[in-house]
Chain A
């Protein structure tokens, strides 16, 4: 119990600190790296809650794909963050107000729940909770059986996304030099080099 609490404070503390560093850091690449650190710590919090599948998905999707994409964009586009930050003072009141509203809402939700746990109604239907197997096993049991239909349609949706990206962006440019490995391998010295006798004062046709 104490170990779990210690880890909770470790993950939560590092997550908040790195979240702060994301907006405070001067170097955008460092910001993205701090964002990754925040994601990893949030994944740790999920593991502590017993949501191990969500934790791994967070690592795979957000750290593996989204954050790396950010990194590419930041490195390739050369965004001038100093300029973006110029209006910081100007937007501070509005931003602060929105932040304060969020904070009050969160306090209200948590506060009312602490005062009366029965306030949150149970759904009309019955959703059975079963602790005998893990989240991942539970998902695995239904994903390819009960929900195989949805899985297949989701596959078709991804296929459409792929075809769409190709249709809208792929162009046949004329005059592009492409590598033809078979031709390269088949080259011999005779094909590549030609020896000519150069007559004096006349030159050769190239």
Chain B
């Protein structure tokens, strides 16, 4: 016993997390000692750390699948792809936030620090191989998210968003923990491989109850219906770069955690969780499509859009097959690009110190800012799922997997709701191209330009060269089965 414990665990697969953890401590100290003057330095440092961690994640050996730290941490192709997406989302958030925070006079060095800590939590979630690691990663991510939702602390809506997110998030964590305790109680282990070997045949009612509660907890974190109530309010109230963050990186981590949990820990009891996922997927797609129609605020619209998109991604998980998981990963890659691009445009709607957030403010954008309007139109067409833009392929892969798994009805419902959803996406295009032009907005900040350019290239030109992304998603899905 003592001999086994005296050996240091393998730490090489943990390198990206270690880089971020040590880096964030250094940045906190730097910020604390230099005070207000350190904001620029901490932001640049955080961005460099995220880029460095991204390259370390990408260059880790492709076939590597190791568990370390007593089996709590797994590094495989799936975790690496999802971590890469998380890191890109966080880096884009820092680029998006600079200009906004300076103008709103809430430019403080704690923001990039909290983004980094949140990112560490999300990476832990993506790599979690047991229930304790999953919960701790989730809490680290959520706590940092509650704080940055309320980051504009003198703004009533922002503090309300933070408080609401905190109270409901604590409730969902409680449900997740209760479910996890039931699973632990009935299997006697918290590790995913241990749960797999303990569950066979008819698992009994206790396990079913545990899975239901765990599913409720993770559905909240993904903002899937019926646990979506917080999403529109939190998205509307938070500072816009924070909304962009919530809609991008944490979604990646939540979906990664959900896929790993259900495919990794409950592969032999698919029948139990499949019906839950199918219900959540249908409800999310329907609500995302219908509730968004009446929205006037773009941030609220994006909230409903993200709820609907999670529904589409979950179709792949409901299929429960390798192809389904590949569809989920492709969907999340493309969703990340579409969301960040859309938020880069939303953040550039600014005249002097006033932000514009309603759909009417986009009116006639094609005449005042043709490039901006073209990019946003591409994002909207892509979100609506119109070929040859990337969003079409995202939906194509998940629907194809669902049909192959025999879930034809689910795929049909998905197609119908995406037609309904197309209405409000295309209405934005109509407002931009056919309505009266308004006074022009200010020039875009450089950070917004970079994010918009990269995401537009991915969305518009995905069909030319889909192989690298589809290949990475295929490898990721393969490592789970």
**Which A residues contact B (CB, under 8 angstroms)?**
123-127, 141, 145-150, 152-154, 156-157, 159-161, 163-164, 166-168
Contacts and interface: CB of A to CB of B under 8 A. Distances in A.
Contacts of A124: 186-188, 198-199
Contacts of B73: 149
A148 B132 CA distance: 12
A167 B45 CA distance: 19
B140 A157 contact: yes
Given A124-B188, A148-B69, 17 more contacts: A123-B185, A125-B187, A127-B188, A146-B70, A153-B136, A153-B140, A154-B136, A156-B120, A157-B139, A157-B140, A160-B114, A160-B140, A163-B113, A163-B114, A167-B110, A167-B147, A168-B147
A127 to B, nearest CB: 5
Interface residues of B, number: 39
Contacts of B185: 123
Interface string B103-130: 0000010100110010011001000000
B232 to A, nearest CB: 23
Contacts of A161: 143
A189 B136 CA distance: 59
Nearest to B194: A125
B280 to A, nearest CB: 27
Contacts of A150: 72, 132-133, 136
Given A146-B70, A160-B117, A125 B147 contact: no
B274 interface: no
Contacts of A160: 114, 117, 140, 143-144, 147
B188 A168 contact: no
Contacts of B70: 146-147, 149
Contacts of B188: 123-127
A158 to B, nearest CB: 9
A123 B70 CA distance: 22
A159 B187 contact: no
B150 A168 contact: yes
A146 B151 CA distance: 36
A149 B75 CA distance: 15
A31 B150 CA distance: 36
Nearest to B114: A163
Q: Is the contact region of chain B dominated by helix, strand, or loop, or is it mixed?
A: helix
A153 B124 contact: yes
Contact of B5 (A127, A146, A153): A146
Nearest to B68: A149
A153 B186 contact: no
B403 interface: no
Contacts of A127: 188
Nearest to B110: A167
B192 interface: no
A111 to B, nearest CB: 21
9 contacts: A152-B21, A157-B136, A157-B143, A163-B147, A164-B144, A167-B108, A167-B114, A167-B153, A168-B150
Nearest to A151: B136
Contacts of B147: 160, 163-164, 167-168
Contacts of B108: 167
Nearest to B14: A149
A70 B37 CA distance: 40
Interface centre among A145, A156, A157 (most CB of B within 10 A): A156
A150 B70 CA distance: 11
A156 B139 CA distance: 10
Contacts of A147: 70, 132
B117 A156 contact: yes
Nearest to A172: B36
A148 B151 CA distance: 32
Interface in B419-472: none
Contacts of B187: 123-125
Given A146-B5, A146-B70, A125 B198 contact: yes
B146 interface: yes
A165 to B, nearest CB: 9
Contacts of B1: 141
B89 interface: no
Interface string B176-188: 0000000001111
A145 B117 contact: no
Contact of B146 (A141, A148, A149, A164): A164
B368 interface: no
Contacts of B5: 141, 145-146
